[in-house]
Amino acid sequence: MTGRSANIGTVPSASTREVPDSAAHSGAASEQEPLLVVKDLVQEYATRGPGGVKTGTVHALSGVSFELYPGEALGIVGETGSGKSTLARAVINVEEPVSGTVEFRGRRMSGMSRKDLRAVRAEMQMVYQDPFGSLNPRWRVSDVISEPMLGHTNMSKQQRRERVEKLLEIVGLDPSIYCNRRPIELSGGQAQRVAIARAVALEPALIICDEAISSLDVLIQAQVLNLFEELRQDIGLAYLFIAHDLATVKQISDSVAVMHLGQLAEIGPAETIYDAPRHPYTRALLDSIPILNVETGEAKRPVPLKGDPPSPLDPPSGCRFRTRCPLAQDICAEVEPIPSDVDDGSRRPHKVACHFPLEPGQMLPNRPARPAAAAASV
More confident residue, 262 or 215: 262
For residue 370, what pLDDT is reported?
54
d(Cα 348, Cα 174) in Å, to the nearest integer? 40
- The residues near 255 (Cβ < 8 Å, ≥ 6 apart) are 72, 73, 74, 75, 267, 268, 269, 270, 273, 348
18 pLDDT more than 50? no
pLDDT of residue 217: 81
CB 85 within 8 A of CB 266: no
Is the pLDDT assigned to residue 361 strictly greater than 70? Answer: yes
pLDDT tens column, 135-159: 999 999 999 999 999 988 899 999 9
φ/ψ of 352, rounded to 5, equals -135, 130
Q: How many residues are given for the chain?
A: 378
For the cut 70, the answer to whether the pLDDT of residue 132 exceeds it is yes
Q: H-helix or E-strand containing 223?
A: helix 218-235
Residue 331: what pLDDT? 97
3-state class (DSSP) for residue 267: strand
Give CA–CA dist 274/267, Å, rounded: 11
Query: Per-residue pLDDT tens for 68-118?
Result: 999 999 999 999 889 999 999 999 988 889 999 999 999 999 888 888 888
What pLDDT score does 29 carry?
A: 37
Question: What is the H or E stretch that residue 221 is in?
Answer: helix 218-235
